[in-house]
A and B are shown apart, each in its own frame.
Chain A
């Protein structure tokens, strides 16, 4: 009696922890996914995992792809490149996935690129770093807007509003470093001067020293580049120090969590964000409006919690892979070739036009500038 209870327990744990091949027949096609479901980047990985699970159910309910049911094999990288590499190894050799979605963050993605290239398996990353698709790698694609595009969107807005000098405050991790590099390259091109560049540690609790340095250089605006919780503390410190110049943040804080963390201190912050944040304010003529709204609605109905732009990256990755799968007989090389040919796919993040020279495929329609007003995202004209 006791033994069978234990056995059931082990089985339950095995199924929960995503060990594949227990409850499934061989008739499925496996799509692999690696997300930072837990750990500091869980606000990225959690909606991504839920999105993929939801979409697989949808596809299978509609009869699958070319008559085959799909199965998602999702591993948790915990935001740790080592664990991402281990997961990739399992997906390639044990699970025999035909394509891989993820990881959620740049450092994890860069860690598994060599494995994807070596195994010849299409990888569609959900991370933002430019280095993922620049230079082009044969098997690697990405759905998140690049930080270069985010920086360009910010600078376009600044030029229109007469801001010519900035102070930069970036977090000392892959996301912040990559953003800082893009800013240093793109700001001079836009005719914007960087008068101060500071950094802070991902776990720092007070950035007033850095902000004081920036303030004394007299920029017309501050650009903060990081992911939670740092930018929320920066927002608070800016208000504490009585700094009145506009504070720009990156798309890394475009999630409800940032509003919750920063509270009233977020007021007046301007940032580039995917259209998903301001879905209801979009013009009806906007092709994305319908896609975004239906995704939001389906997610909310299934999980009773809101999704974010980050979930949208996984949505687009999954949709494009399933588009590319049709009629290939699930051959990895053919799926890759089809991915590269995708034109005019209207996704959550924007319109994707992929080519051999562009493995991201997003254009300037992928970002809108939003301002935080009374704890709400407000669309501001470009």
Chain B
């Protein structure tokens, strides 16, 4: 009984870590631009696919492959911002968010042409056996994901709180015009925000590949779950997103384990609805959706 509970928790932590690391990307962008980028899942996919290409096919050593995968995805983020976001003259958030939905469909199609329709498997980073605690197991790759998510969150937290650039970014999100008047290059800040958030997506994608396998359409579900995790934890809060991801994963796996595997996704979304009903800002976010 105890052993099963432990296993469900570990399973939840495994998938939760995946959602968490994606949720951080959503929150980060929201923090700096007040935009929700629905192509975030596709950046995760590009990261995973690039890693598969560099590491699995071209046999470049893992650390360099990850760097390359992040670079490729960051470049996609940069191009995406320049071509799709910048050119939309209207500073209307709804229009921009719809543009990101379009971009996600476009990126999915491009990936299908480039990498084909088949799923690809990616090897584990390290060949350590799964860790066994009290009869329940957790795969080592999950630990890598959790470590990766923590590093990203700490780095971003530091960036926002300590660095001038980070503060300038927050300023742009609060009031674009006022930020411009104080001499902050607002356009560049938005660009930087997109590059950073697509990079976090790439780190997420390259880390989860060994667990989920990579296919051109992997981003859809992952992006949605990551978005839910961010909402659950509190959009715009880095630590909230991390916690939201883990909570979502655990809820899913407890639902699958104790109720039935059919209600797995329903459990998570039901929890999300309840949270949004009672606390629109998320568990760890501000009381309401306005942050300032």
- Residues on A lying within 8 angstroms of B by beta carbon are 38-40, 42-43, 172, 198-201, 203-206, 208-210, 212-213, 216, 228-229, 232-233, 240-242, 257, 260-263
Contact = CB atoms under 8 A, between A and B. Distances in A.
A8 B214 CA distance: 38
B230 to A, nearest CB: 18
B198 to A, nearest CB: 21
B117 A39 contact: yes
Interface stretch (B4-12, B75-83, B84-92, B272-280): B4-12
Given A199-B262, A232-B213, A210 B256 contact: yes
Given A201-B264, A201-B265, A205-B18, A213 B130 contact: no
Max chain B CB contacts within 10 Å: which of A203, A209, A210?
A209
Nearest to A79: B117
Contacts of B256: 209-210
B9 to A, nearest CB: 10
A205 B18 CA distance: 10
Contacts of A200: 261
A229 B215 contact: yes
Contacts of A228: 119
Interface of B: 4, 7-8, 10-12, 14-15, 18, 112, 117-121, 123, 130, 132, 136-137, 139, 208, 211-213, 215, 217-218, 220-221, 253, 256-257, 260-262, 264-265
A320 B284 CA distance: 65
B212 A212 contact: no
A200 B263 CA distance: 10
B265 to A, nearest CB: 7
Given A201-B265, A209-B257, A260-B121, 5 more contacts: A208-B11, A209-B256, A228-B119, A240-B137, A261-B121
Given A205-B15, A209-B256, A229-B213, A199 B261 contact: yes
Given A40-B217, A205-B212, A242-B132, A212 B7 contact: yes
A163 B18 CA distance: 38
Given A208-B11, A229-B119, A216 B137 contact: no
A210 B7 CA distance: 10
Nearest to A198: B261
Contacts of A233: 212-213
B15 A240 contact: no
Contacts of A203: 218, 220-221
B213 A208 contact: no
A209 B212 contact: no
A198 B12 CA distance: 17
Contacts of A205: 15, 18, 208, 211-213
Nearest to A43: B118
Nearest to B1: A216
Contacts of A172: 262
26 contacts: A38-B112, A39-B117, A42-B117, A172-B262, A198-B261, A199-B262, A205-B208, A205-B211, A209-B7, A209-B253, A209-B256, A209-B264, A210-B256, A212-B4, A212-B11, A216-B4, A229-B213, A232-B121, A240-B137, A240-B139, A241-B130, A241-B137, A242-B132, A261-B120, A261-B213, A263-B121
Max chain B CB contacts within 10 Å: which of A201, A208, A263?
A208
A232 B121 CA distance: 9
A176 to B, nearest CB: 11
Contacts of A209: 7-8, 11-12, 253, 256-257, 261, 264
**5 closest A-B pairs by CB:** A205-B212, A209-B256, A229-B119, A42-B117, A208-B11
Contacts of A260: 121
A38 B117 contact: yes
Nearest to B135: A242
A216 B213 CA distance: 27
A242 B137 CA distance: 8
A261 B119 contact: yes
A330 to B, nearest CB: 35
B261 A240 contact: no
B189 to A, nearest CB: 34
B248 to A, nearest CB: 13
